[in-house]
Structure 1
Amino acid sequence: MRRVEIIANIASGSVGPDAPAEAERILTEHGVEGSVHTPGEGQLEACLREVIDSAPDAVFILAGDGTARAAAEMSGPDGPPIAPLPGGTMNMLPRALYGERTWQEAMAACLETGEPRMVSGGEVAGRLFFVAAILGSPALWAEAREAARSGKVRLAISRAQRAFRRAFSGRLRYTLDGRPKGKTEALTLMCPLVSTALDEDERALEVAALDPTSALDIFRLGVNALSGHWREDPSVSMGRCRVGRVWAGGHIPAILDGEPMRLDPEVHIRFRPKAFRAVSLPQ
């Protein structure tokens, strides 16, 4: 790599105000040209677009899960390779690519031995994800947890109460790859990048129907899903899919690569074999 552009969100997770200077130091130590961008509030999307359009050898993202997902989606399979460094809370994509390295360790490793690698992903309602998506009421626990981590106790309690109230009141209907319709509390979709049930080059998503039978099961399932241990949950049934449709009586709560969001009452799912190019490390 001769030129690397870095986008750092100093307000995100584990980044902090000293990160830009530290990132510049690591670039200098490795003899790589580049700049560190610190977009302010409301400037992130424009900054991502400008940096990606400048066609550097790679774009390093030091921010949270939402920014990492947005950068990978914006660059796509034809743009510059993206290195999502662990600067957020869950760091789903960074962990999938670089393990438990700190952002400094991951950045140095990418500059030393990183190489472009095509990564597959999934799409829900036109939005891409590269690690996992959760659709349904267990996704509401992410909002409660984020409020608790921010020290907003009242908001965390309110969101936890809302998650309990939504349990069993908004079940999902779905059909996958033309198979018969099903009904479930939630669906989890896992990409080949992290799925232990799929080969890395397999052209499908791992899908699990999560169907608990009590509020206690919902709580356990929400915790297991957020911690990545949902396969072990007794209410889970597994499968694979390339395309699908999911619908409900109201808006569908969801988490895409750690980013909570609310989707329309009907959404379409599909597997994307060439989603974006990542800066990958040798296995």
Structure 2
Amino acid sequence: MSDNIIQPAPADSDALVLTPHVQLRRVIMLVNPLSGSVGPKAADEARAILEGYACDAEVVALEGGRFDQQIDEALAAKPDVLFVLAGDGTAGAAASRAGPDGPLVAPLPGGTMNMLPKALYGTADWKQALKSALEEGEAQDVAGGVVEDGDLREPFYCAAILGSPALWAPAREAVRSGKLKLAMQYARRALKRAFSGRIRYTLDGGTRRRTEALVLISPMISKAMDGDEGLEAAAMDPTHAADAFRLAAHALFDDWRRDPSVRTKPTRIAAVRARSRIPAVIDGEPTLLSNTAQVRFTPKAFRALAPRPPAAEDSV
């Protein structure tokens, strides 16, 4: 038997009580000790936590260059739930590979932005999120979207930002890391691109419009969307330099959706075109698309193990 496999606590012991909402007999947890806020002791700490529950658990340390293979191996073992303590990209890859018919996935906050884990668990503490999922978790269908650019299909579960304001993402992360000089360099680069790369877009085949950036937000993140209505499409339209600076300040330090130059609308399909390649941030991961892309709504992207949202509890 692998040294990583944790023997379940005996049924007559003082084992912590698992959630009554789903069956959790077989648990696998993938840990990337080099990611974000994880650290080299995380795998041992996870084993110590899991030992307290009456389930068959295995903790696997991810190895550089083998992430995809190890995710596939974990899913092939058909666990009741796959926990992922790693960066945003790795968590997204596990959710994408599991899909709507695969095992439950629990992406714990182990990255930099932790957009998906924070939306599911409301915390940046991975130990708290792990315990919450084990003790209170339910199966939840998670909606999202997919960015299509030629052969590229990049799923997202929180938000995709397309257009020049996406260039502010590196500056924002530099601020969070305390690298203010680097943040200013990124900020100057982003301002140089402002107004020089406006994009054209259509929502659900409607009127073509122009904007500085288009943001597609999943129902899990959006306060304006319900269930399978679609993605919240937010267009950013600064009209002059003062607006650009204000929007940049929101992007770095605040909620940009509060800015008066942002307007929103529900959509299921968005088509985007620009004269040059389109900078984008997809669930916190910066990328560069070609000059055309399409974004589609995915009503059921994967199934998560997470506590019931407070709003759902209040309505019972």
Report the counterpart of residue 246 of structure 1 in structure 2.
272
> Cα offset for 1:225?
4.2
Secondary structure of the residue aligned to 1:183 is: strand
Secondary structure of the residue aligned to 1:29 is: coil
Report the counterpart of residue 66 of structure 2 in structure 1.
43
Structure 1 CA distance, aligned partners of 2:241 and 2:35?
Answer: 33
Structure 1 residues 21-170: aligned runs within 5 Å? 21-100=44-123, 102-125=125-148, 126-149=153-176, 155-170=182-197
Structure 1 residues 252-271: aligned runs within 5 Å? 252-271=278-297
CA deviation profile, 1:98-120 (whole Å, cap 9, x unmatched)? 00251101101111121221111
Secondary structure of the residue aligned to 1:173 is: strand
Structure 2 CA distance, aligned partners of 1:153 and 1:86?
Answer: 24
Runs (5+) with no aligned partner, structure 2: 1-23, 310-316
Structure 1 CA distance, aligned partners of 2:268 and 2:253?
Answer: 25
Report the counterpart of residue 211 of structure 1 in structure 2.
237
1:206 touches 1:239 (CA, 8 Å); kept in 2? yes
Read off the aligned partner of 1:48 and give its amino acid letter.
I
2:171 touches 2:252 (CA, 8 Å); kept in 1? no
Structure 1 CA distance, aligned partners of 2:86 and 2:241?
Answer: 34
Report the counterpart of residue 196 of structure 1 in structure 2.
223
CA deviation profile, 1:46-82 (whole Å, cap 9, x unmatched)? 2112112221111111112111111111111011111
RMSD over aligned Cα, in angstroms?
Answer: 1.8
> Cα offset for 1:175?
0.7
| Stretches of 4+ aligned residues off by more than 3 angstroms | 147-158, 225-228
> Cα offset for 1:245?
0.5
CA deviation profile, 1:239-273 (whole Å, cap 9, x unmatched)? 11111210111111111111111112100111111
Runs (5+) with no aligned partner, structure 1: none
Structure 1 CA distance, aligned partners of 2:196 and 2:293?
Answer: 19
Report the counterpart of residue 274 of structure 1 in structure 2.
300
TM-score between both structures, scaled by the size of structure 1: 0.93
Structure 1 CA distance, aligned partners of 2:134 and 2:196?
Answer: 49
Structure 2 CA distance, aligned partners of 1:73 and 1:66?
Answer: 10
Read off the aligned partner of 1:274 and give its amino acid letter.
K
Report the counterpart of residue 176 of structure 1 in structure 2.
203
1:185 touches 1:209 (CA, 8 Å); kept in 2? yes
Secondary structure of the residue aligned to 1:249 is: coil
> Cα offset for 1:204?
0.8
Secondary structure of the residue aligned to 1:104 is: helix
1:120 touches 1:130 (CA, 8 Å); kept in 2? yes
Alignment length (residue pairs): 282
Would you say 1:19 and 2:45 are equivalent positions? no
Secondary structure of the residue aligned to 1:138 is: helix
> Cα offset for 1:33?
1.8
Read off the aligned partner of 1:178 and give its amino acid letter.
G
> Cα offset for 1:6?
1.0
CA spacing shift, 1:215–1:37, aligned 2, 3 Å:
farther
Read off the aligned partner of 2:99 and give its amino acid letter.
G
> Cα offset for 1:183?
0.3
1:243 touches 1:271 (CA, 8 Å); kept in 2? yes
1:140 touches 1:253 (CA, 8 Å); kept in 2? yes
Decide which structure has the larger Cα Rg and report it.
Answer: 2
Structure 2 CA distance, aligned partners of 1:69 and 1:39?
Answer: 15
CA spacing shift, 1:19–1:210, aligned 2, 3 Å:
same
